[in-house]
């Protein structure tokens, strides 16, 4: 019976990894749809959000069932509690990709990102995908050194976010208020996705050690 319980714990970890990979694909596809005005790809990402949401619901139901029936203690309890929180973070990261795709759809057939901002948005999408891929690996490996690296990777996203905002508040911004609002929202979506990834890295650290990583200065 105990062996079956640990098989369930491993399955939950596998579900989290699968969920992270779906979020990574959604983020990458949403960025491509945004930059190329690809309506079909944007619609794919929007539909995929329902799949990610359903995965969260099923994972949380399984976790709650194990909490109720197995009465776990110590590291097993931490595994179940942190899985609930990590699934919520991943679901929110999926929501960020969903929002990006919806903006791409809303501006179609135009491209939502003006040419002078496209490289920054493209880089934000690349960094976001890289961070999510690392999250997937950290959930699976529980490698503390890699978990500690995530806040450093998040610094790169923060720099790109600041660069984007600075371009929008420049007196030389030529594209008007609507475009500035779009880009402000997009910057926030990518930045928030990275923040949720950092949250997951801290939860993995807690899972392994029983202590949370301190917030970065």
In a domain, 215, yes or no: no
Domain count, the chain: 1
Domain membership of residue 72 (yes or no) is yes
Looking at the predicted structure, is the pLDDT value of residue 217 above 80?
no
d(CA 214, CA 147): 12
Residue 216 lies in a domain: no
Whole-structure pTM value: 0.93
Domain presence at residue 137? yes
Residues making up the chain, counted from first to last: 217
In a domain, 217, yes or no: no
- SS3 of 26-77: the string is HHHHHHHHHHHCCHHHHHHHHHHHHHHHHHHHHHHHHHHHHHHHHCCCHHHH
Across 42-53, average pLDDT:
97
Determine the Cα–Cα distance for residues 199 and 196; give it in Å rounded to an integer. 5
Residue 151 counted as domain residue? yes
Mean pLDDT to the nearest integer, 107-129:
95
Q: Residue 41 — very low, low, confident or very high, per pLDDT cuts 50/70/90?
A: very high
CATH number, domain of 103, equals 1.20.58.220
pLDDT, position 71 = 80
Residue 61 has pLDDT above 80, yes or no: yes
Average pLDDT over residues 81-108: 97
Segment 40-54 mean pLDDT: 97
Q: Is residue 214 part of a domain?
A: no
**What is the C-alpha separation between 8 and 13, in angstroms, rounded?**
9
Which of 2-11, 126-135, 156-165 has the lowest average pLDDT? 2-11
Query: Residue 39 is part of which domain span?
Result: 2-209
Summary mean pLDDT of the chain: 93
């Amino acid at each position: 019976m105990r062996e079956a319980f640990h098989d369930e714990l491993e399955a939950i970890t596998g579900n989290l990894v699968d969920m992270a990979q779906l979020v990574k694909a959604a983020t990458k596809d949403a960025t491509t749809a945004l930059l190329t005005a690809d309506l079909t790809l944007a619609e794919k990402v929007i539909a995929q959000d329902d799949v990610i949401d359903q995965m969260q619901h099923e994972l949380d139901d399984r976790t709650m069932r194990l909490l109720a029936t197995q009465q776990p203690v110590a590291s097993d309890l931490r595994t179940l509690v942190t899985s609930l929180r990590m699934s919520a973070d991943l679901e929110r990261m999926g929501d960020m990709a969903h929002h990006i795709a919806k903006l791409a759809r809303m501006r179609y057939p135009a491209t939502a990102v003006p040419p002078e901002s496209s490289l920054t948005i493209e880089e934000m999408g690349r960094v976001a995908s890289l961070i999510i891929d690392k999250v997937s690996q950290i959930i699976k490996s529980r490698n503390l050194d890699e978990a500690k690296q995530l806040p450093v990777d998040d610094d790169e996203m923060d720099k790109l976010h600041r660069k984007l905002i600075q371009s929008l508040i420049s007196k030389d911004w030529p594209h008007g208020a609507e475009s500035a609002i779009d880009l402000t929202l997009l910057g926030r979506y990518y930045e928030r996705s990275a923040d949720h990834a950092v949250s997951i890295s801290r939860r993995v650290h807690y899972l392994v050690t029983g202590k949370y990583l301190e917030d970065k200065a």
